[in-house]
Each structure stands twice: as structure tokens, then as C-alpha cells.
Structure 1
Amino acid sequence: MSAKSIPSEVKSYWHILLTAMIGTGCGLLSITFYTQGLFFQPVTEAFGWTRAEFFTSYTILMLLGVITGPLVGRLVARFGVRRVGLLGLFGHSLGYLLLAVNPGSLALWYLSYAALSILAAGSLPITWTALVSQYFKARLGLAIGITMSGTGVAAALAPLYVRFGLDTFGWRWTYASLGLMAWVLATLAVLAFIRRSGPTQTPTQQAPENQEGLSPRQAYRSYRFWFVNAAVFLISLAVGGLVPNFAPLLAEKGIAASDVGTIVSLLGIAIIAGRLSAGYFMDRVWAPLVSAIYFSGTVVGIACMLMPAPLSMGTAGFAAVMAGLALGAELDIIAYITRRYFGSRHYSEIFGSVYVFFAVGVGVAASAWGFLLDWTENYAPILWASIALIVFANVLILMLGRYPRPGHAGSEAPP
């Protein structure tokens, strides 16, 4: 693709980018991931649950991704983004309504999260990155970054709304209204800008080489597939409990409750910056190197949170920015590496399989943080363990080697 076609690529498909970004920001992974910690205190105070009991619900939600991730990938390949995305967004709203009407039953709370994971699966980033991967080649990294910046927008805005809702109307109304608003906004975008619902969303003017790549079976036989999965699992295990526990961690470090929402929103702004900047650099620099640099930022952020309390607002804010930049780049890097090393022909199915390891890592981490904190009443051991896991994951990513040459799965191209 010529340099002249690069701006026209973005100009021609801006509506695809906007829809994918809104769909990602209003979907299951974004809204739940970045607001769960704020609901912890009012829900546990209302029902008398422990930290571990509350966050086990998030473990259930993510572990069901073992089933829903690959399934969504196959459904997108067969039925198209429009149908799968619309159903997932509607299911997301229904799931939040189930949480809002819980009478105080822990078993029902867990079942509601299981239902949310299944009903909202079509709103996962698997759906939206599959859409942009079929339209973009020259600036695929930037396109994925813009798409995934939807999670950063959600991380910046949703906590502010949730804080307002909790203080004004209570947690039940906040759950219900949050799900409803996300559904309406994203559904309008999908209906307005995605007109086709067939198995492929590929425009006629796109070059056929964009649809090259390995089959799922070929990918599963590749060492790169398992190195990517191992790294994804380790990083997800390391940081999966950080975001839902970030607000309680700030409180333990002496940050006033009135300032916690501000710092969490700063985390969201940094996530947006991480999304966009990682996409920009991956279009120009070898993606595993970009990955190692960004995830090293998470190590710096975690190290700041290991400092003794009370933390200053400046230190807490710096930690949020450093962690946010890396957290923002995480799914972008996973999606980009999946596309560059395994191709786009079966992208949604292969990414769905990679998502399994992300979901398991985050799910296990959410529960592990809860149990370990109830047991030790100390964040330090799990923060140190997270640093070690990130370092090991960086080593695995750097061992992926050069990108395969287009049309030659067995050969390599310069990074």
C-alpha cells in the first residue's frame, strides 16, 4: 500500500473506527473492568460480603471467557459484526439490570455475573478488532489503538458517572442506568455505520492480500502461538487484579475518598494515551519491543504503589499514569501481534483463542487478589509477584522473532 493511500485509508473508514471505538468502550470488558472497584464498598456494606466473595463474581465472569471468547470469534466469522455486536450490547444491558435487582443473595449475584459474561460476549473487543482488521493494513496498529481507546474513554468517564450515581442515587440505580446508557449509545453507532451483517465486512476496494494468514490449526502448531498465550496469561495474571482493586489500594495508601475517583479517571486518560501511542509505534517499530517498553511502565507504576503510606497525590497520579499507559497498550498489543504473526483470514477465531488466556489470567487474578488480601491484609506480596510475572512475560514476547512474510507463513520479514 502506497504512502498516499495511508490517509485515505483512515479517511475512507473513519466511521468504522468510530463504531469500533464506541462498541469497545460500551462493551463488557471496558465498563465492568473499570467500575467494579467503585461498587465494592456500597455492595459489600449492603449485603455484608467479604472482599473475596465480592471479587469472585469477576472471576466467574472472566473464566467463562474460556467458552465465550472462541465462540464469539466463530460467530463473528459466520454471521458478521453487526448481528453479533448488537446482540452482545443488548445482553450487556440486561446483565447489569440483573445485578441491580439482586435481593442480597450471593449465589444469585454469581449467577448474574455468569449470565452477564454469556449475554454480553458479543460486545468483547474480539468483535470490534475483527472489524477494523478487515479494513486496515498500512495503519493497522493505529486503527486497533483507536478502537481500543474506547476502553480508555470508559475508564476516564465511567468512574466519574458511577461516583456521581453512588453518591446521589445508590448502587442499584447506578448499575441499571450504566448498562442502559452504554447499550443505547453503542447500538445507535452500530445501526448508523455498519450496514452489512454478512460473514465478511470486507469492502470491495480492499486488496485481497489482507485476507492471508494461518488457519487456526496451523496457528496452534506454531511456537509463537503458545509464547503469545503464555505471555498474555502472565501479564493478565499480574495486572488483572490491579484495576478492580486500584480504588481500594489508593484508599489504603492514604488517598482521600474524594480524590480516588479523580486518580482513577487519570488512569483512564493514561489508558487512552497508551492505546493511541502504542498503535502509532507498532506501525513503525517491531511490536514485541514496543510491548516490552510499555509493560515496563507497569512495573514502574506498581513500584510506586509499594512505597509506604501515605502517598502524595503526585505519586499516586504518577503511578496511575505509568500503569495506565501500559494497561492501555495491553489489548492493542495482543490484537496487533495476533494479526501480524497469524494473518487476517482467520483473525477472529485465532484472537478468540488467545482471549481465553487473557480471560483466565484476569479471572484468576481478580479472585486471587481478593483471597490474598483477606488473608494477609497486605498488598505488598502480590504487587511484588506481579512485577516478576511481567518481567517473565516480556522475555517471552521478545522471543517471537521477526514477522512472517506476507503469503509465506514459514518465512520471516524484517521487524
Structure 2
Amino acid sequence: MNAAPPPPAALSVQQVLVCGALIVTLSMGIRHGFGFWLQPIVTERGWTRETFAFALAVQNLAWGIAGPFAGMLADRFGAWKVLIAGGTAYALGLVAMAVASHPGTFTLGAGVLIGIAQSGATYAVIYGVLGRVVSPEKRSWAFGVAAAAGSFGQFAMIPIETWLISHIGWQQALFLLAGAALLIVPLALGVRERQAGGAGIGHQQSIGQALREAFGYRSFQLLMLGYFVCGFQVVFIGVHLPSYLKDHGLGIEVSTGALMLIGLFNIFGTYSAGLLGQRWPKRYLLSAIYGLRAVAILAFISLPLTPLSVYVFATVIGFLWLSTVPPTNAVVAQIFGAQHLSMLGGFVFLSHQVGSFLGVWLGGKLYDTTGSYDVVWWLAIALGVMAMLANLPVRETPILRARAA
């Protein structure tokens, strides 16, 4: 007897957008507040900041490494199955993060398990379904809607997570978030496609053919380079900004407000990027985003640090935060088509997560070594300029393929 519910007659764009948006709201919203656990956990456990930062660095790296495989499985067997596994693993990882008393087990739970879970419960998997149900001319907009939902989760979850930590303790807060992560499981049924993956989609390729084509294409390499920088910048800021502000004498309410503003303006930034990606060349849009990030970070570390300067920085960087996501994935779909979109998006995101690993780990490592985050801020600026230049020569036109005989 098959206990699974029957597949829908057809997936509507609205259904995928609603269920996909709710999934990324939960998955991205929960992780956006992890920086608030740094100080209570290292204080209670007697660890260094590098210990916590390393676990989150591993989380980002595991997310990136598992991403292409999650994408392959989603493209081949159906995104909904991967999402169910991802939501379940997310909950288990949050529980492990709460109970781990040794740095090694903490890294396995908060790092490896949550990282693998996120690979199956965030953008790449959802974008694969959207790429197959949304017409090509509307993909950038649809990707922007999904990214904006993840941004709303970041905005909404920050005050919830800080309230939970202060009122019931950091461990009980993680247990409650584990329950919230399980809501991904029923929502996954809302993106269940009638036929798995790329069946029936135009030009058919094997996984090996798709990978050889993408990795041999210069524009794909440049997109990966830009996404590496994106990961370095946003994860360093997201994890270390609260501690950076506290080190400079600013209270928890300032860092809470800053991360809320990042999440709030990220909503407008990602949605705007999706809309603009339908009208402007996406390579120019991406270059502008990376260049503006470098300028914003330079101004932030150069001007006197006050609550007002923090809020202005959070507003600007929030608008630019995940605005790279819709145009980057839309370019990948535009060049290579939708058949292997989750897998190729997973490989691009792997580059993002390598950058995330270095950003969050170097933040902790260099702080413990030098007593300052200054070197990492300057690295973020230099990388932003590099990504700005790297995206300019990207070709957005569909790749030319020889017709099968």
C-alpha cells in the first residue's frame, strides 16, 4: 500500500510560490539568528569564539558540498522528497546544537548536520521547481519572490529568537526552533511535481553532460566566483556583527535592530533584484550590487561607530544582502535551461558556501589572533571589488548545443 498522497494534477505557480516561500522563510529565518547564540554558548561551555565560528563555518561548507547532491536528487526524484529529508535533518541538527557539550559534537550537530539539512531545504531546491513551472520571462521575478520570502523570515525571526534566548534560555530556544523546522515537512507536499525532475523538458542531458558543459563555460565560472564573494561577506557580517558591536560598547538592542533591518530591507532588495533582472542585463545588476557592498562596508568601518551609523549600514547592506540570488540563478537558468537547474544552482551555491566558510571562520580566527575584526572587513571590501569586475563579462544568452542526431 502506498501511504504517500497522490500527486496533484498539476502544480500552479501560485502554489509553488506560497509553499516555497514559507519553506525558505523558515529555513533562512532560523539560521539568520545563529550569531545570537555565539556568546551564551561560548560563555556557558567555556569555549573560544573560534570554536563556535568554526562549527558555523563547517555548517556553511557542508551546506555547499551537499548542495549539488541535493540538487541532483531533487532534479531526478522530486524536490518534495529532498525537502522532507532536509526539514527533518534540520530539526535534528538544532537539537544536537542544543545538547552538545564537546566542541567536536557541537561541530557535527551545528555544523555538518544542519549544513546538510540546509542544502535540502533552501533556495536551490525550490528554484529548481520554480524554473520548471514558471515561464522563462518570469523566472527572475519568481526567484525574487522566493528570495524575498527568505528575507522576510530573517526579519521576522530575529526578534523571536532574541526574545526566546532572553526569556527561556538558549537551549530551550533551540528546541522550539527544531519544532518549527519540522513544519517544512508538510509544506514540502505543496511542491510535489507530477513527474520528477526534468522529465519532458526539451533538450535532455545526462548529469555528466550537464556538468561538463557548465564547468567548461566561462560565464558559469565567473558566476561562481562572484557567489564566493557573496558568501564571504554576508555570513561574516551575519555571524560576527553582534559581537563586533558589543566589543565597541553597543548593546544587544543595537545588534538586534541591525539584523532586523538587514532582514527587512533584504525583502525589498531581493524582490527589486528579481524585477530589475527582467529589465536590465543581469551581469550589470550583479556588478552594481557587489560594488555597492564594498562601498557600504568601507563607509561603515571608516566612520565613527554609533547606533545611527549601524542602522544606516544595516539598511544599505540589507538591501544588497541576498539581492545577488535571483539574478545569479536566473542567469544559470537562462544559459543552461531548467532540466538540471537545482544541481547547477547547487554547484554555484557551493562556491558561495566556500566563501561563507572562510568568512565566518576567519572572523573568529583573526579575532582570537589579533583581537580585532579589521583584517576581515578589509578582505570583504577587496573581494567586493573583485566580484564587481568578474560579473561584467558574463554572457547571459542560452548556450548553443549541437542537436542530437
TM over 0.5: yes
Q: Which residue is equivalent to 2:140?
A: 141
The separation in 2 between residues aligned to 1:154 and 1:377, in whole angstroms, is: 32
Which of residues 78, 96, 107 is equivalent to 1:110? 107
Q: Determine if contact 1:240/1:366 at 8 Å carries over to the other structure.
A: yes
Q: Determine if contact 1:62/1:117 at 8 Å carries over to the other structure.
A: yes
- Asked if residue 280 in structure 1 is aligned to residue 275 in structure 2, the reply is yes
Question: Comparing 222-231 with 41-50, which one deviates more in the overlay?
Answer: 222-231
Q: Which residue is equivalent to 2:8?
A: none
Question: Comparing 133-142 with 270-279, which one deviates more in the overlay?
Answer: 133-142
Q: Determine if contact 2:246/2:252 at 8 Å carries over to the other structure.
A: yes
Q: Which residue is equivalent to 1:263?
A: 258
Which of residues 177, 196, 201 is equivalent to 1:199? 196
The separation in 2 between residues aligned to 1:253 and 1:300, in whole angstroms, is: 22
Structure 1 position 209, deviation (Å): 5.7
SS in 2 for 1:408: coil
Question: Comparing 122-131 with 212-221, which one deviates more in the overlay?
Answer: 212-221
Q: Determine if contact 1:211/1:344 at 8 Å carries over to the other structure.
A: no
* Gap regions ≥5 residues in structure 2: 1-10
- Asked if residue 340 in structure 1 is aligned to residue 337 in structure 2, the reply is no
SS in 2 for 1:241: helix
The separation in 2 between residues aligned to 1:175 and 1:271, in whole angstroms, is: 24
Q: Which residue is equivalent to 2:324?
A: 330
The separation in 2 between residues aligned to 1:374 and 1:98, in whole angstroms, is: 26
Q: Which residue is equivalent to 1:404?
A: 397
Structure 1 position 380, deviation (Å): 2.3
Change (3 A) 1:292 1:254: farther
Identity among equivalent positions (%) equals: 20
Structure 1 position 168, deviation (Å): 0.4
Q: Which residue is equivalent to 1:220?
A: 215
The separation in 2 between residues aligned to 1:70 and 1:266, in whole angstroms, is: 31
* Gap regions ≥5 residues in structure 1: 1-10, 411-415
Q: Determine if contact 1:301/1:321 at 8 Å carries over to the other structure.
A: no
Change (3 A) 1:106 1:390: same
The separation in 2 between residues aligned to 1:66 and 1:266, in whole angstroms, is: 26
Q: Determine if contact 1:304/1:316 at 8 Å carries over to the other structure.
A: no
| Matched residue type, 2:390 | L
State the TM-score, normalized to the length of structure 2: 0.89
The separation in 2 between residues aligned to 1:173 and 1:197, in whole angstroms, is: 39
The separation in 2 between residues aligned to 1:55 and 1:158, in whole angstroms, is: 21
Number of aligned residue pairs: give it: 388
Q: Which structure 2 residues correspond to residues 68-217 of structure 1 after superposition, within 5 A?
A: 68-102=66-100, 104-112=101-109, 113-136=111-134, 137-184=136-183, 186-191=184-189, 193-196=190-193, 198-200=195-197, 215-217=210-212
Q: Determine if contact 1:44/1:54 at 8 Å carries over to the other structure.
A: yes
Q: Determine if contact 1:144/1:279 at 8 Å carries over to the other structure.
A: yes
The separation in 2 between residues aligned to 1:197 and 1:68, in whole angstroms, is: 25
Which of residues 317, 321, 328 is equivalent to 2:311? 317
Q: Which residue is equivalent to 2:244?
A: 249
Change (3 A) 1:409 1:304: farther
The separation in 2 between residues aligned to 1:276 and 1:209, in whole angstroms, is: 29
Question: Comparing 89-98 with 249-258, which one deviates more in the overlay?
Answer: 249-258
Q: Determine if contact 2:229/2:387 at 8 Å carries over to the other structure.
A: yes
Q: Determine if contact 2:198/2:340 at 8 Å carries over to the other structure.
A: no
- Asked if residue 305 in structure 1 is aligned to residue 312 in structure 2, the reply is no
Q: Determine if contact 1:142/1:283 at 8 Å carries over to the other structure.
A: yes
Structure 1 position 358, deviation (Å): 1.0
Question: Comparing 134-143 with 256-265, which one deviates more in the overlay?
Answer: 256-265
Q: Which residue is equivalent to 1:4?
A: none
The separation in 1 between residues aligned to 2:37 and 2:304, in whole angstroms, is: 24
Change (3 A) 1:324 1:409: farther
After the TM superposition, list the runs of 4 or more consecutive aligned residues in structure 1 that deviate by more than 4 angstroms: 208-214
The separation in 2 between residues aligned to 1:374 and 1:151, in whole angstroms, is: 32
CA deviation vs aligned residue, 1:323-380 (integer Å, no higher than 9, x gap)? 1111121222321221122221221221122121111110121101111111122222
Q: Determine if contact 1:70/1:353 at 8 Å carries over to the other structure.
A: yes
Structure 1 position 95, deviation (Å): 0.9
Change (3 A) 1:263 1:17: same
Structure 1 position 239, deviation (Å): 3.5
The separation in 2 between residues aligned to 1:77 and 1:195, in whole angstroms, is: 12
The separation in 2 between residues aligned to 1:127 and 1:194, in whole angstroms, is: 10
Structure 1 position 272, deviation (Å): 0.9
Q: Which residue is equivalent to 1:5?
A: none
Q: Which residue is equivalent to 2:369?
A: 375
Question: Comparing 121-130 with 36-45, which one deviates more in the overlay?
Answer: 121-130
The separation in 2 between residues aligned to 1:68 and 1:176, in whole angstroms, is: 24
CA deviation vs aligned residue, 1:99-135 (integer Å, no higher than 9, x gap)? 1122x21111012121222344311311111111111
| Matched residue type, 1:172 | Q
State the TM-score, normalized to the length of structure 1: 0.87
| Matched residue type, 2:336 | F
Q: Which residue is equivalent to 2:6?
A: none
Q: Determine if contact 2:78/2:192 at 8 Å carries over to the other structure.
A: no
Q: Determine if contact 2:35/2:239 at 8 Å carries over to the other structure.
A: yes
CA deviation vs aligned residue, 1:299-325 (integer Å, no higher than 9, x gap)? 2331232035441x3221110011111
